[in-house]
Amino acid sequence: MFVVHRRSLQNALFLGLAVVVATSGGCVGLTAQLLYWFHGGNKIDPEFKGLKDKRIAVVCVSNTSSFGPDSFCSLLERRVAAALREQGDKIDLVPPDEVADWIDSNDWNQMDYREIGRGVNADMVVGLDLGGLRLHEGQTLYQGRVTLTVTVYDMEDGGKVAFRRTIPDFTFPQNGPRHATEMSEARFRSLFIEVLSKHVAKYFCAYDFEEDFARDAMGVGG
């Protein structure tokens, strides 16, 4: 009788998958990541590492008319700040309440993130520009969609743009909408914000390779 060790089987499966992807003209980057995982690594480096040892303000602006502490935009900027604090190495976050107080006190016109950066003494500002936000697909289905541009302004270099990425159509869940009977709208909105915030944090913090395959799993159940 042959005894197959779990790790050996796992290695064989991943190596086989990498070979299939490579020989079928698949993504070279995916093949490299599979081989990296096979050799024991499971962390993906962030695209931008410049937030380390910096004082960071996270600010979100939406093209909708919904404002206030419970708006999608406000909740997203708080959750992104929390994700950076949880995952980031030596990132000093300006408290979201301090950012909100400065905006309320200075009648900010939502045109220049650099004003907030100077106002709260931030070294860098992570600006989140939201557009096309929706939570529903029809009247009885939930599926979140949004366009998001993430921009980092370096206040120590005159407010120059240090990093920018646009997500033209972020969709959750990707594998299809959820029926409204599965959960409340508040619960779905919270899940959507959680997944989107973690996606943003990946630009700046190392993350587990497996997380790229786990997005829709969060949307299952209530």
Looking up residue 66, the CATH number of its domain turns out to be 3.40.50.10610
Q: What is the pLDDT of residue 107?
A: 79
Taking a C-beta distance cutoff of 8 angstroms, is the pair 147, 166 a contact? yes
- Structural domain includes residue 127: yes
Residues 35 and 59 in one domain: no
Compute the distance between CA of residue 200 and CA of residue 58 in angstroms, rounded to an integer.
11
Q: What is the mean pLDDT of the chain?
A: 80
- Structural domain includes residue 184: yes
Residues 133 and 209 in one domain: yes
Q: pLDDT tier at 134 (50, 70, 90 boundaries)?
A: very high
Nearest residue to 113 (alpha-carbon basis) of 128, 101, 94, 97 = 128
Show the DSSP H helices in the chain as ranges. 6-23, 28-38, 72-87, 96-106, 113-119, 185-201
Q: What is the pLDDT of residue 220?
A: 46
Show the DSSP H helices in 127-213 as ranges. 185-201
Residues 36 and 67 in one domain: no
The pTM score is: 0.76
Q: What is the pLDDT of residue 86?
A: 85
Q: What is the pLDDT of residue 104?
A: 87
**Domain tally, the chain:** 2
Residues 102 and 36 in one domain: no
Return the minimum-mean-pLDDT range out of 39-43, 127-131, 199-203.
Answer: 39-43
- Structural domain includes residue 49: no
Compute the distance between CA of residue 195 and CA of residue 201 in angstroms, rounded to an integer.
10
User: In terms of residue numbers, what domain contains 21?
Assistant: 6-41
> In this model, does residue 43 exceed pLDDT 90?
no
Residues 15 and 121 in one domain: no
> In this model, does residue 51 exceed pLDDT 60?
yes
> In this model, does residue 14 exceed pLDDT 50?
no
Average confidence (pLDDT) over 149-177? 96
Report which residue type is found at 124. M
Residues 113 and 86 in one domain: yes
Residue that wins the pLDDT comparison between 14 and 42: 42
Rounding to the nearest 10 degrees, give the CA dihedral for residues 215, 171, 194, 143: -100
Q: What is the pLDDT of residue 39?
A: 47
- Structural domain includes residue 22: yes
> In this model, does residue 77 exceed pLDDT 90?
yes
Residues 69 and 175 in one domain: yes
Token digits of residue 177: 């909408």
